Amino acid sequence: MRIDLMGTIMRLRRLKIRGEVGGVYHCMTRVAGGAALLGPREREVLRKQIWKVADFCGVDVLTYCVMSNHFHVLLRVPPESESAGVDDGELVRRVRVIYDRNRAAAWEARLSHEDEAERSKAREALLARLGDVSIYMKELKQRFSIWYNHAHGRFGTLWAERFKSVLVEPSLRALVTVACYIDLNPVRAGMCEDPKDYRFCGYAQAVSGERGARRGLMRLLESNNWRGASAEYRRILFGSGYFTESGGEAGISWERLEKVRTRRGELTLAELLRCRVRYFSDGLAVGSREYLDDLFRKNRSFFSRNRKDGARRMRSDALNGLYALRDLQKHVYGARE
């Protein structure tokens, strides 16, 4: 690789698919210092803001999970043409979603200004904030930080480094695998045995009947029927051998993981998704060999001249068929997030 490896990695993290199919991103960010600052009240506020900011930005939340010190969200970003086609009436509706009455009224006044140049300027300012994963994450983190600091009488930075984002191939296999990984966060953390019992994740919200969360999972499974999509997603979430023989705790202990790895045994996909899989947070992009090689060719200048292709096989038979753009060498799997 080139000497400026970290610079290359940071640029790659900002890669965005543009065009007819849009892009899908797994985004993740942590509280500064990893502190467990997000209690039930805070997680509920952040959960609501995830949906509100998505509505404003015009991105689709496929699933998400809010934990005590970090959160994940799987986002579909629409093609540029979709955002550019938003009319003024829709822009007014969107600003009302996230702004108070006075600020929303101010935007509405700018969009209906008698001077055409002023109207155009206001419209362009709003359109520039739509359909972009970086803007979405910035808006979400800033809005929650303001609320959190006000509610707790504090000031300063709440979040750690810039959010991580991994580009996910918009294929059934890649999307569902990453979505299950996100929804299984509370299981990996030992907080529950079934993600439907953890109210701050997309799967639980969908099971409870929330339409937006159901639409996200139905989109993942390319289904128009919630009952069928729900059964299929739950089958993938649980897989075979989910519970221990005694029917007790779900998930995989660190000791068991190390034992399997030492003996060069393989975990099933259902088991593997209950471990920390760094490919899904640090792999830059995940998907099929063809998808990643095409992405590599389109972004050839970001890579070393010596590199011939983009796809790097994930080191697990259970993930056969999925590749990453980064070849992770150490600490690929762990017991928790």
Residue 168 pLDDT greater than 50, yes or no: yes
Same domain, 102 and 51: no
Q: Are residues 274 and 222 in the same domain?
A: yes
Host domain of residue 95: 88-127
Same domain, 197 and 268: yes
- Residues 54/136, Cβ–Cβ less than 8 Å: yes
Q: Give pLDDT, residue 12.
A: 47
Tell whether 237 is covered by a domain. Answer: yes
Q: Is the pLDDT of residue 148 over 70?
A: yes
Same domain, 195 and 240: yes
Q: Do residues 190 and 174 both lie within one domain?
A: yes
Question: Best-predicted range by mean pLDDT among 73-82, 146-155, 284-293?
Answer: 146-155
Q: What single DSSP character describes residue 129?
A: T
Which alpha helices (H) appear in 199-305, and where do they start and end?
202-207, 211-220, 226-238, 254-262, 269-272, 279-282, 289-298
- Single-letter code of the amino acid located at 275: C
Q: Please give the Cα distance from 288 to 1 (Å, whole number).
A: 23
Res 285 pLDDT > 50: yes
User: What is the predicted pLDDT for the residue at 224?
Assistant: 92
Of residues 150 and 13, more confidently modeled: 150
Question: Which residues, in sequence order, are bridge partners of residue 76?
Answer: 24, 60
Question: Does 336 reside within a domain?
Answer: no
Per-residue model confidence (pLDDT) at position 62: 96
Do the beta carbons of residue 22 and residue 59 sit within 8 Å?
Answer: no
Give me the chain's average pLDDT, please.
Answer: 82
Q: Is there a single domain that holds both residue 95 and residue 202?
A: no
Tens digit of each residue's pLDDT (9 = 90 or more) over 60-80: 999 999 999 999 999 999 887
- Boundary of a domain, candidates 127, 156, 183: 127
SS (H, E, C) 44-113: HHHHHHHHHHHHHHCCEEEEEEECCCEEEEEEEECCHHHHHCCCHHHHHHHHHHHCCHHHHHHHHHHHCC
**Does 267 lie in the same domain as 151?**
yes
| 136 within some domain | yes
- How far, in whole angstroms, is CA 23 from its chain's centroid? 12
Q: Residue 84's pLDDT band (boundaries 50, 70, 90)?
A: confident
**What pLDDT does 169 receive?**
92
Q: Has residue 80 been placed in a domain? A: yes
- Is pLDDT of 245 > 50? no
96 shares its domain with 218: no
pLDDT of residue 202: 96
pLDDT band at 161; cut points 50, 70, 90: confident
From 104, 127, 150, give the residue that closes a domain: 127
Note the pLDDT of residue 241.
30
User: Which CATH number does the domain housing residue 199 bear?
Assistant: 3.30.70.1290
**Taking the CA atoms of the chain, what radius of gyration do you get in angstroms?**
21
pLDDT digits (tens, 9 = 90+) for 111-130: 998 888 998 999 999 998 89
Do 144 and 101 share a structural domain? Answer: no
Q: What is the structure's pLDDT at 45?
A: 97
Measured CA angle at 40 (ends 276, 242), to 5 deg:
35
Q: Examine residue 337 and state whether it is found in any structural domain, yes or no.
A: no
Looking at the structure, tell me whether residues 242 and 295 fall in a common domain. yes
Share of the chain above pLDDT 70, in %: 82
Chosen domain end from 111, 127, 143: 127
Rounded to two decimals, the pTM is 0.83
Note whether 183 and 327 are same-domain residues.
yes
**Which percentage of the chain shows pLDDT scores above 90?**
46
Same domain membership, residue 136 and residue 13: yes
- Assign 7 a pLDDT band (cuts: 50, 70, 90): very low
Q: How many domains does the chain have?
A: 2
- Give yes or no for residue 259 having a pLDDT over 70: no
The confidence band for 13, taking pLDDT boundaries of 50, 70 and 90, is: very low
Cα separation, 207 vs 213, whole angstroms: 9
**Integer distance in angstroms from the first to the last C-alpha of the chain?**
28
